[in-house]
Structure 1
């Protein structure tokens, strides 16, 4: 009977040792699965953040394409506006009397071009003589000392500038005073 008891104790010790080995393996496997889960969660969160960033970037690119996609065409149309403006400035009273309908047609064409520009977010930058020079909106074509002006005052406007929404298409071309007021 003691032999049987010893055998039973041995079997029980062997079962306990096997149980502990299985338990250790299960714990190790559980830890490996937790580590894998954490890694997968991290990869998922990164992929989710990348997808959100891509969506935002695509949204921004789409908005910019809508707002600024026509900037090259708009820039190419500016000389047309300049030509119409110069034609109207060159029209004397005598010419207006002789070719009134023609001049009126040029004025209507210029107005319609400005309306089209306005519908597409293009606005003219039209400084006046005496305005302050702004390097963000104006391009100084020359400086000259003009009595009665302050350095940095606009003394002549050669060409209007244009903005497309908040971007500068072309700066206004101006002459600037270099003479301090006395």
Structure 2
């Protein structure tokens, strides 16, 4: 073998080694691209899991606040007839009975004040419309309509029962009678 043949052979070997190195570099580059894609996918999954965890925390916090504020609404609704009955008892006593049953009526009044204090403590506020107020379907329930001279259509002419709000929610609408006087 001549020096030239040996030289060509070593050039061929170098070229083959270069091809192997290019193939290895290409394989390494492909592996780097695959690892970057996997990293990006894992980063995306991590960010989504983080967002889900934050949303769950917010939802749990909101649910806890709602349970705290409105969890007792069934009990509160069940206590409203007690208030109504006490109100009727006080309203039904005439002047003569006030003197005879003074201690009893005073006890009922104190109990009613305490009930209202407990209501207030738990975010229950009365809706007490007055005769002549404008009917509001968001807060009032019309029990009847009647034409009453000297009133305008949509005015409250009688209050049958007070309503109640639990924080910002309607617990029970005020029960009222409404004027249906036609416009003149």
Give the TM-score category using the shorter length. over 0.9
- TM-superposed CA distance for 1:107, in Å, is 0.2
- TM-superposed CA distance for 1:4, in Å, is 1.5
Separation in 2 of the partners of 1:41 and 1:150?
67
1:111 to 104, 110, 113: 113
Would the aligned equivalents of 1:133 and 1:154 in 2 still touch at CA under 8 Å?
A: yes
Q: Which residue of 1 aligns with 2:68?
A: 66
- TM-superposed CA distance for 1:181, in Å, is 5.1
2:83 to 81, 84, 105: 81
Separation in 2 of the partners of 1:124 and 1:180?
31
Would the aligned equivalents of 1:149 and 1:180 in 2 still touch at CA under 8 Å?
A: no
Q: Which residue of 2 aligns with 1:50?
A: 52
Mapping of residues 149-168 of structure 1, within 5 Å:
149-168=151-170
- TM-superposed CA distance for 1:180, in Å, is 3.2
What does the per-residue CA deviation read over 1:118-148, in whole Å, with 9 as the maximum and x for residues that have no partner?
0000000000000000000000000000001
Q: Which residue of 2 aligns with 1:34?
A: 36
Mapping of residues 130-145 of structure 1, within 5 Å:
130-145=132-147
Superposition RMSD in Å: 0.8
Stretches (4+) displaced over 6 A? none
Q: Which residue of 2 aligns with 1:124?
A: 126
Q: Does 1:179 align with 2:150?
A: no
Q: How many residues matched? A: 182
Separation in 2 of the partners of 1:45 and 1:158?
57
The normalised TM-score by structure 2 is 0.97
